Amino acid sequence: MKLLLKDGNVINPLNKTINIQDILIVDGKVAAIGRELAASLDLDLSRSTSGTGFQPVVFNDEETIKDACPTISVINAKGKYVVPGLIDMHVHLREPGFEEKETIATGTQAAARGGFTGIVCMPNTEPPADNQAVISFIQQVAQKTGVVNVFPVGTITQGRAGKELSEMASLAAQGVVAFSDDGAPVVNAKLMRHAMEYAKMLDLPVISHCEEPALAAQGMMHEGFTSTMLGLKGIPAAAEEVMVARDIILANLTGCHLHIAHVSTAGSVELVRAAKEKGIKVTCEVTPHHFTLTDEAVSSYDPQTKVNPPLRSKADVVALQAGLKDGTIDVIATDHAPHTQEEKELEFELAPFGMVGLETAVGLVWTKLVIPGILTSCEAVAKMTVNPARILNLKKGLIEIGAEADITVIDPELTCVVKPEEFASKGRNTPFSGWSLKGLPVATIVGGEVKWIK
């Protein structure tokens, strides 16, 4: 079966253009792009599965398929943005080891509902993804139960303990796209230097969780006026910035591609900006919750607002948005971190860090960045497609003839209220419950197959 996306506003994030075009998909690949493709290619739409709006046609068995045998399936994308499949380069799928929080099946379903055709899963599983066997397990389960592309990350150190390097070459041979001890910093600078040297030889980036544990110890939220008023131990901005500075210095020394995860402070943005001006190979990401919320959201003592790094000050949020606008921040990633309801119902001090983000990301990007004019639609799409693809050396992120047909359709006018009880993710831990968001995904196509449609 062929698939035709008709009359969509096709975004090319590389050259920052938007054109009304049709996209023809054949055998999972982009076969043609242009105007009025049905006529120009003599496509027979008389028996198409096109309906009004975005209504999928479901065939339940082979006989039905043979009987219907449509020439082509059509999605009417008029008034919608048709963009390269979104890539989230920071996701915690929890499997193996924490399947009560999330599984590869439920996590990828949440990704599809969020418009993501590819997700990068962090290695803080149990056992950790520090060997070929665990990576192979993730790949096999993703192949069997996943509905979007899953790209695993291998650990920097064995067991994420920060003492000995993982077998990085064997992890690379198994297909990891990066190395990270995410959730735990590599405190030993000499060990981090060696990790970067090996990663450079393997042509893979190091994704750094920048946190100085002695400064952050027992902290619950951002250190500042609000933490003092609430009586909660704070985590100073310096706890992040000290490690950002150290790892930039090491990246300069080794020539390794350093990617800094979930930047949250104005100082971190400035350090990255200065490093880029010097030609150091460093990139970074920000989460929707960090460019949207401030530490004042913690005033209710709601454990859904407890994340690491913590929600920062208004000045930090302004700096993050400025970093997005001027290109200092390359990527928007969710740091999707599901937890059970029981865990997140504990008092603030005892609840775990983290919130889910796959199913609210696009709405927050559009509502908080695109509509206010901080980013254009092209710029926003670039930070969720071609930029993460380039950082991870993936042949993804663009809609072009011959490319695998990973495509997301976004309705910029669609408004919806966030209802965690309707999430596909097992995680319901979000502070955005009840928020009205505008600009939402309505179709997710992976390898030419419609994996989710609204």
- How far apart are alpha carbons 124 and 185 in whole angstroms? 12
Quick check: 97 and 124 in contact, CB under 8 A? no
Amino acid occupying residue 177: V
- Quickly count helices (H) and strands (E) in the chain: 16, 17
Quick check: 181 and 158 in contact, CB under 8 A? no
Virtual CA dihedral for 137, 138, 141, 144, nearest 10 degrees? Answer: -120
Active-site residue, selected from the candidate residues 88, 335, 406, 411:
335
Please provide the DSSP assignment of 93-122 as one string: --TTT-TTT--HHHHHHHHHHTTEEEEEE-
Please, what sign has the CA dihedral across residues 69, 70, 72, 74? negative
Rounded (10°) angle between helices 104-113 and 132-145: 60
Bridge pairing between strands 282-286 and 331-332: parallel
Paired tokens of 90: 């920071």
Bridge pairing between strands 407-417 and 81-84: antiparallel
Strand partners for 416: 437
**167: Cβ contacts below 8 Å, ≥ 6 apart:** 130, 131, 132
- How far apart are alpha carbons 430 and 432 in whole angstroms? 5
- How far apart are alpha carbons 352 and 343 in whole angstroms? 7
Which burial class, exposed, middle or buried, applies to 138 when counting CB atoms under 10 A from its CB (0-12, 13-18, 19+)?
A: buried
Peptide bond into 303 cis (omega under 30): no
335 is catalytic: yes
For residue 179, give the DSSP letter.
Answer: B
Catalytic residues: 335
